[in-house]
Each structure stands twice: as C-alpha cells, then as structure tokens.
Amino acid sequence: MSAAPTVRAVIARHCQELLADPLLHGDPTLRDIAAQCRQPLRVLLVGNVSTGKSTLLNALIAGPLAATAFEETTSSVTWYHGPELTDPPLPDPGHRSVTTDFPLAGRVMLGDSPGLNTLSDNPRETLRMLGGSDLTGAAAAFVCVLVGGRVDQWAEGLEELAAFSAGPFDLVGNIVVVMAKVDEVDEAVDDIERRVSGDTTTTFRFAAVNQLMAAAARTGAVDDRIVAALDRLRTLPVVHGRSAPAWDRLAEEVGTSLPPGHLKALEQVVGAPAWLPALVAATAGMTTAGAVSEQFERMSRIRTLEAVLSDLADDSDLFTSTAAVLRLRRLAARLKPRPAALVRARLADLTATMHTSGLHRRAAARLVRHTDVGSGLTEHERAAAQALLRWPDAEAEGGAPPASLLSPAPPPSPDTSAAGGDTSDRKTAAEVDAGAVLARWTAYEADPFRDSRSREVAALVIETARHRLRTTRQEES
C-alpha cells in the first residue's frame, strides 16, 4: 500500500501549480508556502529583548551559535535546521539560515528573532512574523519567552497570537509559553508551573526553563573550574542555609581558596544564586565535568521543553497545513480579483482535503490530551479516545501512529511531569475497546453542562468509535 500524501504535501502541490499560472508566477508568498510545506515544522522563538531567547536557542541546538549578551543583541531572524536540509528557502530574503545538528533536527526548524520591546528597528522583523502581516503563518508554531514568573501581563498578546494562528479546527498547542530566567524568580519552579498553568485560559503549552544552565551544559561551559567551585562552596555552612547568599558574600567567604575566575565562571553558568544550594547538594560526590554537566541539564528542565516541541513535531502536518491554509486565505484577500479567484478555487479543494484527511480528528486528539476536554473520564478512557482519533489517519497514511503515542509513557520525573499531560496512558487503536469508548463518550456528551468544544470533540470520538466498530465487523465477516 502506498502512503497517502500528507496534507501539507497536497498544499505544496497546489501552490506549485498556482505558481505555474502567469497571473501568480513568482509570487513570494506562494513560493514560501510551498517551501514551508516541505520543511520540518517552523518554530519561532519570540519575546522581549534580553529575555534569553538566544540563550534558549543555543540550549536547544546544543551549540553556542546564536550571539547572546546583556544588551539588545539579535537584529534579524535566523533559522537553525538539521543537515538534512541544504540551503532551505526561507520566508524572507532578510532571514538567514544555519545548518547544525541538534536533538530535534529534522523535526523542527528553530528561528531566533529580535526582541520586541525596543525603540530600534529590529522588532519589525519579528512583528512581520506575528499577526496581521505578509509573513503571518510563515512560522507555524511559537515559543514565547517570558520572564518574571508571570503571564498575566502578556495574556492579551498571547490571545492575539493564538487568534492569528487559529485554523478551521480548534487548535491546541502551537503556542508554547516558556517562563525563562526562573533563577531570578523568588518562587519554586514547580509552584510557578502550577500557578501559570492555572492562569492561562487558552490552550497554550507551558514550560519553565533555566536556559542559562541548559545552554551551559550543552555548550561545554560546565568545565573543571565549575566542579572545583561547587566543591569548595559545598564546604561553606552559608550555602546550606535556608536562602542562597549573594555572589559577593560567597566571594568573601571563598577568599583566595579558589583560583581567580572560578567563582565568576560558576556565576556565569548559574545566574542568580537562588538555585545554588540545590545545585551544590545535587552534585555532591560528582567529580567530573560530564556528571555535573548532566546535572545542570536535568535541573534546567530543557528536556521538558523538548518533550513539548517533540509533541508538536508529531503533529507537524496539522500545524503546518493550518498555517499554510491561513496564509493562502490572507494572500487571496491581498491579491487582485483574477489571481485571488485562482487561489480561492484551490482553497475550496484544500478545505475539503483537510476534512477528509482526518486532521480535525488529530486536532481533537490534542484537545483530549492537553485540555480539560474529557475531564471526569479516566485517563484510560481519554487515552482510548486519543488512540481512536489518531489511528485511522495513520492507517490511511500507511504509517505508524505518532511516536509520542506509541512510545512508552516516560517515568514520572521532575523533567517530564511538567510537560502538560504527557504522562497519559498510551495505546494503539488495536488495543482499544471501541464499544466501551462509544458508551463512555456518549454518556459524557449527554451531560447538559458540557461546553460546546467538549461536545464537538465527544461527537467526533463517538463517530470514530462507530466507524471503528463497523470496520471491525466488516473485517470479521
């Protein structure tokens, strides 16, 4: 059985055919939509100046390739991608690309962007990639880097961004909110995560990350000086107190017992001293830079964020196709009547393709997994619905279900438990009792107090379960 094309491959073909028409020949937006549909998921890091976007990027690409500094630094958009792409077409001639291998290479392209809250010209580049501009949708997913431990002051901007990327389906998860510089927030990171997750109303994903420690661990900055400094600090009673002492105080206590520069090197990779007592305790007995570096990486929670991004990449077809269709709609609205009519005719075809392809079921599966849709049902019942919603597409495409669905659930640990519901019971459709799903979700839908989104998803689950039961009966007879 040959695999059915992904929806984004269908969109790319439509764009290519449109580009062959003299009325649309060479249109840069169409060219980029076609390119985007053939590339890994484009994820853009956005946020204010100096929130640590480039530092986070370096952590994600495991190399010190993006310049970072205390003052405003990044002035243009740069895309980082794996070696499987050579010279990929980019959304805009002003963008750059860098080839490098990294854990998520091949699954996502990561874009670093200029910070937003500055009077310089730099933010223009970023704003074009956000709402209401010619490049809106050229990134199908966003990592919004915030600092200060709160999201409320950004709520409006995030809702706006969500509105600009909302497709025909109630999409969840293409906006990831990262609380950065958590070392500077006077609150335990678990508490930040709990509070902020409770504060956000829309379907954002959320992770709190110490990107400074993550970048240090992955760029070789955790060296023997760091091991020696931690060893020395471990002997100081002041480090074992309730609150962390300031770096100045530590420098006084250490005096000349450490070679010059060692404590400064530690400060540069740890940031505010708040996490120092925990770090000192966690690295007790570790004698090599490799072991300490591994501990930095664990504490930084970068893997939580990577789990979220990997989960997005599993649904790359959903996110990229949604962004591409929205771009085509906006393009049609900008064009003169005759070329616009050509684009609109293709859009009609594509909307039908999106519905028949099962993308709406994938979107529904995400809602069950990441929101309160299905609340009151057991984890097992929700997992069964997700498997049913996803599996038919995988069968139709002749491929396996997404990796995140089949891989064994990660053991509960501080690194993964915060990923936002990724610990659900994973199943394959073959293991699912479609009759039981039908009964439970029918009862769920019948509750008069359900909101419309839950009801819509329940209706899809029920329809899919019925379909599954019919198919199984046909196979058996």
Ligand X SMILES: Nc1nc2c(ncn2[C@@H]2O[C@H](COP(=O)(O)OP(=O)(O)OP(=O)(O)O)[C@@H](O)[C@H]2O)c(=O)[nH]1
Applying CB under 6 A, the span of 6-14, 180-188, 440-448, 459-467 interacting with ligand X comes to 180-188
Q: Is 304 in the site for ligand X (CB under 6 A)?
A: no
371 binds ligand X (CB under 6 A): no
Q: Which token pair is 181?
A: 């510089």
| Closer residue to ligand X (CB): 269 or 384 | 269
CB of 61 to ligand X, least distance (A): 13
- Give the x-and-dash track for 222-261 against ligand X (CB under 6 A): ----------------------------------------
40 binds ligand X (CB under 6 A): no
d(CA 401, CA 361): 13
**Tokens 């915030």 belong to residue:** 146
Q: How far apart are CA 236 and CA 230, in angstroms?
A: 10
Which one of residues 6, 36, 68, 322 is an interface residue with ligand X (CB under 6 A)?
68
Q: Are 210 and 183 in contact (CB under 8 A)?
A: yes
Residue 69: which of Mg ion, ligand X, none does it interact with, CB under 5 to 8 A by kind?
A: ligand X
What is the nearest approach in angstroms of ligand X to the Cβ of residue 200?
Answer: 21
For residue 359, what are the contacts with CB-CB under 8 A and spacing of at least 6? 7, 169, 317, 318, 321, 322, 393
* 122 near Mg ion, judged by CB under 5 A: no
* Contact of 125 with 58, CB cutoff 8 Å: no
* Other Cβ atoms closer than 10 A to 156: 9
Distance CA 128, CA 121 (A): 12
3-state secondary structure of 66: coil
Is 446 one of the binding residues for ligand X (CB under 6 A)? no
Verify binding: residue 316, ligand X, rule CB under 6 A.
no
Residue 126 binds to Mg ion (criterion: CB under 5 A): no
- Whole-number minimum distance, CB 434 to ligand X, in Å? 47
- Dump the DSSP string for 15-56: HHHHHTSTTTTT-HHHHHHHHHHHSSEEEEEEESTTSSHHHH
Q: What is the DSSP string of 186-218?
A: SS-HHHHHHHHHHH--SS-EEEE--HHHHHHHH
C-alpha–C-alpha distance, residues 222 and 219, integer Å: 8
Query: Is residue 316 a contact residue for Mg ion (CB under 5 A)?
Result: no
Cα–Cα nearest to 141, from 302, 273, 316: 316
**Does the protein bind ligand X through residue 98 (CB under 6 A)?**
no
Q: Which of ligand X, Mg ion, none does 184 bind, CB closer than 5 to 8 A by kind? A: ligand X
> Which range of residues in 69-77, 149-157, 375-383, 461-469 is near ligand X by CB under 6 A?
69-77
Cβ 188 to ligand X shortest distance, Å: 16
Query: Candidates 23-31, 67-75, 283-291, 345-353 — which segment interacts with ligand X by CB under 6 A?
Result: 67-75
Q: What are phi and psi of 317, to 5 degrees?
A: -65, -40
Report the 10 Å Cβ neighbour count for 224.
Answer: 13
Enumerate residues 167-206 that contact Mg ion by CB under 5 A.
none
The residues near 294 (Cβ < 8 Å, ≥ 6 apart) are 217
Helix count and strand count (H, E) for the chain: 20, 7
Can residue 181 be called a binding residue for ligand X (CB under 6 A)? Answer: yes
The nearest distance, CB 258 to ligand X, in angstroms, is 21
364 binds, options Mg ion, ligand X, none, Cβ within 5 to 8 A by partner type: none
Q: Is 186 in the site for ligand X (CB under 6 A)?
A: no
What is the rounded distance in angstroms from the CA atom of residue 372 to the CA atom of residue 444?
A: 13
Q: Phi then psi for 143, rounded to 5 degrees?
A: -110, 110
Alpha helices in 255-288 (DSSP H): 262-270, 276-282
Shortest Cβ distance from residue 321 to ligand X (Å)?
30
Residue in 55, 316, 322, 404 binding ligand X, rule: CB under 6 A: 55
Binding mask 54-93 for Mg ion (x = CB under 5 A): x------------------xx-------------------
- Positions in the binding site for ligand X (CB under 6 A): 47, 49-55, 68-70, 72-74, 114-115, 180-181, 183-184, 210-212, 271-272
- Positions in the binding site for Mg ion (CB under 5 A): 53-54, 73-74
